[in-house]
Structure 1
Amino acid sequence: MLSILVWIEDLFGKLLLAAIVLLIFFAAIARNAGYPLIWSVDMAQALFVWLCFTGAVKALRQRAHIGVDYFVQKMPFGWRRGVDLAMAVITVVFLAVLAWFGFQLTVMNAQRIFGDSGLSYAWVTGAVPLGASILALVLAAQVFVALRDKTLVFAKSRADDSLHQEL
């Protein structure tokens, strides 16, 4: 089941990126030919917001987000695990708050029209609550696994865990 969701996530990201590239490409060609597609740039911007959250979910799932952990790596494993879990919980809470306020923003923007596209601006702002909710769920699942297996949440591999358990 999880592999199907990952496959759908990857496909969705690829389709979004392809659509953005095609929209910008055809907009440039049309503008050069004297027939500007005004709505295409608006649509590309809207799709880019969704692509950012799709990429953020993939990066979180692969533990590929940037982290400055110079000082944390120098801690004993128990302390490092505590800091790691605390940061994960703080991040889940932040994402939940972001999802809540993103939902409110989406509702407020339901009547607003996005640029020249004629679409509701809620289609753009809707990426925030949905993306933040998915990020929070993925991170919460990673916290659960880390607690169950007594590992780190943000470690890129088991080797990161075992190296510091020995120290």
Structure 2
Amino acid sequence: MLRRLAQLEFLVAAGLLAVIVILVFTAAIMRFFGHPLIWSVDMAQLLFIWVCFFGAARAMRSKGHIAIDLAIRWVPHKWRLALEFAVSAVVLAFLGLLAVEGTRLALQNSQRQFGDSGLSYAWVTMAVPAGCVMLGIALVWNAVGAWRRRSDGETLVYTRSETEYSSVSEL
């Protein structure tokens, strides 16, 4: 089921990115001919924040976020896994806080208009709680997978193992 969710996230993000490119290109062409599309830049910005969160969730799921592991690279797997679980608990708490506060912000901004688009600004601010939920799901999925394979001596929550490098394109 999570594989389907990952595929759906990818399709939505790719679709949104395509719409952004089309909007910006069309706006540039229309501006050249003296008929600017005023709302297109606002719409592209709105879609971009959503693409960022979809991309962040995909990167979390594939363990593709940048990491500086110089200090813990030589720590035994058992201790490194424990440290990654502790970090995951802190990250999940932070994502939960962001989701709650982002929802409050979206509700507060529901009457505010976003630029010249006529849309509610809540569409922009709802990207934060939605993105935090997607990131949280991906993080929990990685943590559960690391826990189930903890005895293999290489699977971690944030760091790809040698066998995971080959399966990244399947996500």
Q: Is the pair's TM-score, using the shorter chain for normalization, greater than 0.5?
A: yes
**Residues 151-160 or 90-99, more deviating:** 151-160
Matched with 1:126 is: 126
TM superposition outliers: structure 1 runs of 4+ over 4 Å: none
Q: Give deviations 1:40-70, integer Å, cap 9, x for gaps.
A: 0000000000000000011011100001001
Taking only the aligned residue pairs, the percentage that are identical comes to 47
Matched with 1:142 is: 142
**Residues 82-91 or 56-65, more deviating:** 82-91
Matched with 1:157 is: 161
1:9-158 aligned within 5 A:
9-150=9-150, 151-158=155-162
1:158 shift after superposition: 4.9
Counterpart AA for 1:156: R
Q: In structure 1, what is the Cα distance between the partners aligned to 2:149 and 2:78?
A: 14
Contact 2:54 2:134 in 1 (8 A): no
Q: TM-score, normalised by structure 1?
A: 0.91
Q: In structure 2, what is the Cα distance between the partners aligned to 1:58 and 1:94?
A: 19
What stretches of structure 2 of length at least 5 have no aligned partner? 165-171
Counterpart AA for 2:114: F
Q: In structure 2, what is the Cα distance between the partners aligned to 1:62 and 1:77?
A: 19
Q: Give deviations 1:78-132, integer Å, cap 9, x for gaps.
A: 2211211111111111111111111011001000000000000001111110110
Q: TM-score, normalised by structure 2?
A: 0.89
